[in-house]
Structure 1
Amino acid sequence: MDMSPLWISLKTAFSATFITFFVGIAAARWMSAYRGKLKGFIDALFNLPLVLPPTVVGFFLLLIFGRYGPIGKLLFELGTTIIFTWPATVIAATVVAFPLMYKTSRGAFEQIDYNVVNAARTLGVSEWKIFWKIILPLAWPGIAAATVLSFARSLGEFGATLMIAGNIPGRTQTIPVAIFFAAEGGDMDKALIWVILIAVISLAVILLMNYWTEYQRRFLSSMSSAEGN
């Protein structure tokens, strides 16, 4: 049995999660502090891939990265292309996973007690240090949960991936795509193997996250008890 869909899926999910981690946190931090008139519109735009059908997201990506799209045309002139390549799977997974990272991280930032942040500012602490030393650690449980959700979403992406990357065995065929074509071809046993495998991976990731969150909660609780004594 060809195991390339597993490696392609894991490679894609890790790459997309890495990108959404930084881009999502930056967007969430900016939006949590932004007070402009366009806040509602920008927030809706960031969350749009979450509510759109994946095939619609894939179609928009085709318009952007296709041969006659703004980015695709530029890449074509440079002698390269994104469509139907492995980077296309990363782009599709990143776009659909971004809203989960953004929305959950923003919620974590907005739940912070900013009295602590303001106290640090009155002491002359720079905004950069405030973010890395105060805001990020306080929001970390939510950010960690957002990272896991983004990874799981990237791992299970199908529609947009099929639209922009296609089904090329050994290059762009991820586990969800392999499941679809195996089932369509009547190879239900093969499809079932992939279904069980991706379910086990997703469950393992969520369980590890739950154990880690519980450990963090107990650690913080013990630290608070020690300080109280």
Structure 2
Amino acid sequence: MDWSALHVSLTLAVLTTLALLPLGLALARWLAVTAWAGRPVVEALLLLPLLLPPTVIGFYFLVAFGQGSALGAWLADSGIRLVFTLEGLLLVSVLVNLPFMVQPIQRAFAAVPHSLREAAWVSGLSTWQTFWRIELPLAWPGLLAGMALTVAHTLGEFGVVLMVGGNIEGETRTLSVSLYDKVQGMDLQSAHVMALALVGISLLALSLVLAFDRVGQRGRALQER
């Protein structure tokens, strides 16, 4: 096992999840309740990272933030480097994982009956109080599912990680990149260990998502009685 790569992967997964929590929560709640006509456009843009090849996202990240661009040159002059750094990996990871965080939370908020919100408002609760006391407690299974999916997908990212972060040991070499190195070097025993670790993490995340979904369904069933 490449423990250094595992540490980088876990660090990236935790930071990505923490960065996406407030952003994903706000965006998911807005998409669930808004009647704005442009919502389908926002949802399409949100889902775009699921359809685009990771190499395309990585390429345009390099175009935007490399020193050949005006933005990249300005960042370099300011002492900020995003290419081949953990900070750059975090930024692109947030972009790629946004739909994995938002979609489960959006579905959870959309399942909250509007009548509950109206009852809370009639009782004197503000929109903010209704969110914290009524909506969020009912939507927490979706929130946990989004976190589980984000962690699992971040740990398994390869193409965009290799393009944006490179393969710097202890800095940007993640477990999936290290696995690729082991296969290239014909170290199949080490590759098996890392591959099984990634499979186990994916199965655990999927199990958690399904469990949270069942909890959410039971909660909605109790509300309807």
Aligned counterparts of 1:217 and 1:33: Cα–Cα separation in 2? 19
Change (3 A) 1:56 1:216: closer
Cα pair 1:112 1:135 within 8 Å, conserved: yes
Aligned counterparts of 1:101 and 1:209: Cα–Cα separation in 2? 12
Change (3 A) 1:70 1:202: farther
Partner of 2:129: 129
Q: CA deviation at 1:32?
A: 2.0
Q: What one-letter code is carried by the residue in structure 2 that aligns with 1:201?
A: I
Q: CA deviation at 1:36?
A: 2.4
Aligned counterparts of 1:212 and 1:111: Cα–Cα separation in 2? 14
Change (3 A) 1:108 1:212: closer
Specify every segment of 5 or more residues in structure 2 that has no aligned partner in the other structure, as ranges: none
Partner of 1:178: 178
Deviates more, 1:14-23 or 1:27-36: 27-36
Q: CA deviation at 1:191?
A: 1.4
Change (3 A) 1:142 1:75: same
Partner of 1:29: 29
Q: CA deviation at 1:127?
A: 1.1
Cα pair 2:141 2:212 within 8 Å, conserved: no
Cα pair 1:141 1:213 within 8 Å, conserved: yes
Q: What one-letter code is carried by the residue in structure 2 that aligns with 1:81?
A: R
TM-score, normalised to structure 2, is 0.88
Change (3 A) 1:58 1:187: same
Aligned-residue CA RMSD in angstroms?
A: 2.4
Q: What one-letter code is carried by the residue in structure 2 that aligns with 1:133?
A: R
Change (3 A) 1:70 1:149: farther
Q: How many residues align?
A: 222
Aligned counterparts of 1:74 and 1:104: Cα–Cα separation in 2? 37
Partner of 2:156: 156
Change (3 A) 1:34 1:74: farther
Q: CA deviation at 1:213?
A: 6.7
Aligned counterparts of 1:73 and 1:45: Cα–Cα separation in 2? 27
Cα pair 1:94 1:154 within 8 Å, conserved: no
Aligned counterparts of 2:38 and 2:207: Cα–Cα separation in 1? 38
Partner of 2:45: 45
Cα pair 2:66 2:72 within 8 Å, conserved: yes
Specify every segment of 5 or more residues in structure 1 that has no aligned partner in the other structure, as ranges: none
Aligned counterparts of 2:52 and 2:182: Cα–Cα separation in 1? 26
Q: What one-letter code is carried by the residue in structure 2 that aligns with 1:110?
A: A
Give 1:78-227 correspondences, 5 Å limit: 78-207=78-207
